[in-house]
Amino acid sequence: MAKLGLHTFAAAPKWDVPAMRALMPKFDAHKVRVLEIPLLDPAEIDVAETRAFMEETGIEPVCSLGLPDDINVIEDPDAGLAFLKPAFEVASGVGAAALAGVTYGTIGRISGAPRTQAEFDGTCRFIERAARMAADHGLKLGVEPCNRYETHIMNTGADGRAYCEAVGADNVFIHLDTYHMNIEEVSYAQGLRDCGPFLGYVHLSESNRGAPGAGTIGWDEVYRTLAEIGFEGTTTLESMNHVHPAIASALAIWRPVAATPADVIDAGLPFLHRHAEAAGFTYE
């Protein structure tokens, strides 16, 4: 069976243990088993407090980030690895099994031209090195294809698979996101299937980044395909209800994504459960 997660941007702009503890009754009611912790600034995280919270509640952490604008992993991979190192240390410290997201580049950086072979090769070299560093910390590394307005490096499930196959590291997986798939894929089904065995994590994100069901994502197709391919990983509701200032501009978050912020959790999670059940997709 799969696990249902929640990105903590649905509740707060940065990781906040007291705020998460206050939401535990809702997490229990909606079968939230995973919380995604953004590591845009790993120093913000109290590792001991966070690990204690996870052990106390039984919640599983997964960590995510995107690289900052001043880092170009192709021209200066060492700078990218230096940024990732403390993130890996925090992810491992809080008990996460993976660091995912745009771990291979910068959200919001585009060249204005198609990805070149040199860019593909350079990104592969960086992912390979990052995967080795992740493995040294007992972690898997997720790579998230994003839409064409946020990157030209990796846009689709098929792109993600091409990188995974070229890198050849057994701890690298694809982290798909329905928000980006809505823009880039021929269909949700095709995008999910194109990942093949590398699909490891899925963001359930509405087309407007608000509460699931308040946009145009084809949830029936998403869940039907996840059931058909036998996906048993984690699917995480991601809403930019709150967003860290470091990436607000790159994500083009100019206004509230939900008229009633509480709906992201209170209406969005039950909506996902209904569609999962209808498709025969089972959560723990």
pLDDT by 10s per residue, the chain, length 284: 999 999 998 888 889 999 999 999 999 999 999 999 999 899 999 999 999 999 999 999 999 999 999 999 999 999 999 999 999 999 999 999 999 999 999 999 999 999 999 999 999 999 999 999 999 999 999 999 999 999 999 999 999 999 999 999 999 999 999 999 999 999 999 999 999 999 999 999 999 999 999 999 999 999 999 999 999 999 999 997 566 565 555 565 555 656 666 889 999 999 999 999 999 999 99
Residues 36, 184, 206, 238: which is the catalytic one?
A: 238
* Predicted local distance difference test score (pLDDT) of residue 40: 87
The pTM of this model reads 0.95
Residues 144, 150, 184, 206: which is the catalytic one?
A: 144
Q: How far is CA 179 from CA 8, 87, 88, 96, in A?
A: 17, 25, 26, 24
Q: Does domain 3-279 have CATH number 3.40.50.720?
A: no
* Predicted local distance difference test score (pLDDT) of residue 179: 97
* Predicted local distance difference test score (pLDDT) of residue 133: 98
Size of the chain in residues? 284
* Predicted local distance difference test score (pLDDT) of residue 275: 98
The single-letter DSSP state of residue 40 is S
Q: Is 238 a catalytic residue?
A: yes
The first and second tokens of residue 20, run together, are: 């998460």
Q: How far is CA 68 from CA 1, 72, 113, 200, 239, in A?
A: 35, 9, 21, 24, 20
Q: Which helix (H) or strand (E) holds 273?
A: helix 268-279
Q: What is the CA radius of gyration of the chain?
A: 17
Maximum Cα–Cα distance across the chain: 50
Three-state DSSP state, 105:
strand
Q: What backbone torsions phi and psi does residue 282 show, to the nearest 5 degrees?
A: -105, 130
* Predicted local distance difference test score (pLDDT) of residue 244: 58
* Predicted local distance difference test score (pLDDT) of residue 110: 94
* Predicted local distance difference test score (pLDDT) of residue 12: 85
d(CA 84, CA 65): 9
d(CA 180, CA 155): 8
Q: What backbone torsions phi and psi does residue 96 show, to the nearest 5 degrees?
A: -75, 155
d(CA 14, CA 217): 26
Q: How far is CA 8 from CA 187, 241, 252, in A?
A: 28, 9, 18
Three-state DSSP state, 3:
strand
The single-letter DSSP state of residue 114 is P
* Predicted local distance difference test score (pLDDT) of residue 240: 75
d(CA 160, CA 176): 9
